[in-house]
Amino acid sequence: MTSRGKAYSGAQIHDGRRLVIGHSLLMSKDEGCRIVPDAQVPPAYERVTLQGGVITPGFVDLQVNGGGGVLFNDAPSVDGLRAIADAHQGLGTAAFLPTLITDRPTATRAAIDAVAAAVAERVPGIIGLHLEGPHLSVARKGAHDGALIRPMTDDDMALLIDATERLPNLMVTVAPESVTLDQMRRLSDAGVILSLGHTDADRATCHAAFDAGVRCVTHLFNAMSQLGSREPGLVGATLEREDVFAGLIADAVHVHPASIRIALAAKPRSDRVFLVTDAMAPAGSEIDRFVLSGREVFRKDGRLTLADGTLAGADLDMATALDVMVGQVGDSLERAVTRATATPTALLREKGGLGVIEASTQWVNYLPPTVPTGAATTRLSVA
């Protein structure tokens, strides 16, 4: 009898929303993917027994600065995007937003053109663009080049609104110090996914931005006004809002696991917190240093830092973030996987069936027992 496909069993299965046991994943070139109880596996499927672990949808990462030794700012081209995509696919990421860090207007235009071309050429994994700057706050610039941070102009507005017509998804990190509420409303109405970040704004200002259409916060806790006794800042405002999503760099370097645990307990809807890698050029490579805006960044002991110790992105993959969330934060495996799959997908304008396992799913991960590092993540297939 000719096999109709493969039936993977012996592992827990997460479909992007919930975790099930005692089930098998059926994968067929003709019939796609579906999850059935072990006792209901059709006899025509070849059985593959896994030794524990968990099957998940491909990861979705909304903040990827580079990978494979390439930084997007240095290579805003289709070839550069291919190299970055290859590196992250090897780490289990099915789809991501290439992220341009604060740069000159020419770089922004080049990034938009490159992503539009990559999408047209169907470069695997490229689902849009994230512009992290340059319309931020110098007071909370982090590793961004303060000399390039500037207020948003009418020309910037026109460029971004035009980009929404060319790209499936456009995410832009902004700060109220450089972008007005009216500009935020117009961008949100045009379909831009707005996120607050790199800002020293107070609670009231942040709530006004959320009311103006900002839907997200970039790397919660990092490069923003903190929760204080008299002024809650952006951290406090984010934790108050049920409707606001928040990206989180869960590497136990950018944010202490206890702080993550407290935030999850405080936020009314913890399903609004999702994982990002904020990965830089070293992701999926062995390089130990690279250059960011003319400054050397060093890779050591799971950290990426400038010479003065300032964190400059993260040395992180999604499976390692899951390890931190489950093993150090105490998040359940079910919730943690959702934060790397269905939750970030919910922010996207064009979702394309990402973040879940359903009939049309093209990418499925297998993580061996104990939630491994990314190097151990493998992609399941029919072949």
pLDDT digits (tens, 9 = 90+) for 253-294: 999 999 999 999 999 888 899 999 999 999 999 999 999 888
Which stretches of the chain are DSSP H helices?
A: 78-89, 105-120, 154-166, 181-190, 203-211, 233-240, 257-266, 318-324, 333-339, 342-347
In a domain, 353, yes or no: no
Of 23-37, 75-89, 363-377, the poorest mean pLDDT is in 363-377
Who has greater pLDDT, 190 or 30? 190
Of 29-33, 293-297, 356-360, 367-371, the poorest mean pLDDT is in 367-371
Of 136-140, 222-226, 293-297, 325-329, the poorest mean pLDDT is in 293-297
* b/e 144-177 (16+ beta carbons within 10 angstroms → b): bbeebbbebeeebbeebbebbeebbbbbbbbbbb
* pLDDT value for 121: 97
* pLDDT value for 252: 95
Q: Are residues 139 and 260 in the same domain?
A: yes
Alpha carbon 288 to its chain centroid, in Å, reads: 23
Q: Are residues 298 and 364 in the same domain?
A: no
* 372 has pLDDT over 80: no
* 371 has pLDDT over 60: no
What does the pLDDT look like over 215-254, one tens digit per residue?
999 999 999 999 999 999 999 999 999 999 999 999 999 9
* Known catalytic residue at 278: yes
What does the pLDDT look like over 107-123, one tens digit per residue?
999 999 999 999 999 99
* CA separation, residue 80 to residues 223, 268, 327 (Å): 27, 40, 34
- Structural domain of residue 25, as residue ranges? 5-56+359-380
Q: Provide mean pLDDT across the span 44-58.
A: 95
Q: Is the pTM of this model over 0.75?
A: yes
Number of domains forming the structure of the chain = 2
Q: Are residues 155 and 24 in the same domain?
A: no
With a CB cutoff of 8 Å and minimum separation 6, the contacts of 308 are none
Domain CATH code at residue 49: 2.30.40.10
* 26 has pLDDT over 80: yes
Q: Are residues 66 and 23 in the same domain?
A: no
User: In the block, which residue shows the tokens 């950290």?
Assistant: 303
* pLDDT value for 8: 97
Q: Are residues 47 and 61 in the same domain?
A: no
* pLDDT value for 374: 47
For residue 131, which of 140, 119, 152, 118 has the smallest C-alpha distance?
Answer: 152
Q: What does the mean pLDDT of the chain come to?
A: 94
In a domain, 270, yes or no: yes
What does the pLDDT look like over 148-187, one tens digit per residue?
999 999 999 999 999 999 999 999 999 999 999 999 999 9
Distance CA 238, CA 268 (A): 10
pLDDT range class, residue 200, cuts 50, 70, 90: very high
Q: Are residues 84 and 28 in the same domain?
A: no
* 29 has pLDDT over 80: yes
Who has greater pLDDT, 66 or 30? 66
Q: Are residues 33 and 174 in the same domain?
A: no
* 358 has pLDDT over 90: yes
3-state DSSP helix/strand/coil % of the chain, to nearest 5: 30, 25, 45
* pLDDT value for 381: 81
Alpha carbon 71 to its chain centroid, in Å, reads: 16
Using DSSP's 3-state secondary structure scheme, residue 19 falls into strand
Q: Are residues 309 and 322 in the same domain?
A: yes
User: 210 is written with which tokens?
Assistant: 């959320």
* 1 has pLDDT over 60: no
Of 90-104, 326-340, 362-376, the poorest mean pLDDT is in 362-376
Please pick, among 278, 315, 317, 331, the residue that the annotation labels catalytic: 278
For residue 150, which of 127, 168, 133 has the smallest C-alpha distance?
Answer: 133
